[in-house]
Amino acid sequence: MKDRQNQYFGRLRKRKRRRRILIAAVCLLMLAVLICSLIRFRGGLGLFRRNQSGETVRVTLKSVYDGDTIRVKMPDGTEETVRLLMIDAPESVHPDESKNTEEGRKASEYLTELLKDTETLYLEYEDEKNNRDLYGRLLAYVWLTDTTSVEPSFIKKNMVNALVLSSGHAEFHLYQNGNKVKEAYRRVLEGIR
């Protein structure tokens, strides 16, 4: 009789143990699914933002050239002209004065006002090696912060390219220089009207 009771309680303990293991496994699986969903659909947790979008180069703003171009001092001390990727503002400083427009002057004034109290900016390239246009300008996403993200709300608040575009002083423009476009940025910038 005692033998049967021991067998019965032994089976009962095994069932309880299996049930606890199953519940723990289901909880871990649900947690993994939740984390993956956050990373994929919300642009990532703060820990993953930088890896999803790219490395930045810290630069010092020297001047605004026009509505989509700035002049910066690089970490090595050289000065570079930077063309903001995926936007195109009307002309304001073209050597052929007839090509300059009032909208171009307003775009230049807007970018100057936007960056007036900014000394440090962060450049992000689509490609570290092929990052210049046919005029020798650096092509970059320009950030107000060192952290980058693929989350739309973060891009719209912290990427200079997006801020100029959302102000109405530039249009979406896709450069075809052979680089693979950062699709997360393209979707956000293309969607700004």
In order of 3, 68, 119, 161, the CA distances from 57 in angstroms are: 74, 19, 14, 16
Q: How confident is the model at residue 49 (pLDDT cuts 50, 70, 90)?
A: very low
- State mean pLDDT over 13-38: 80
Alpha-carbon gap, residue 70 to 77, rounded angstroms: 16
Lowest pLDDT segment from 19-33, 70-84, 131-145: 19-33
Q: How confident is the model at residue 112 (pLDDT cuts 50, 70, 90)?
A: very high
Known active-site residue 83: yes
The helix, strand and coil proportions of the chain, stated in percent and rounded to the nearest 5, come to 45, 20, 35
Catalytic site residue from 80, 83, 124, 126: 83
- State mean pLDDT over 59-65: 96
Q: How confident is the model at residue 188 (pLDDT cuts 50, 70, 90)?
A: very high
Catalytic site residue from 80, 124, 126, 137: 137
Known active-site residue 128: no
Catalytic site residue from 91, 124, 126, 151: 91
What global pTM score does this model have? Answer: 0.71
- State mean pLDDT over 130-155: 92
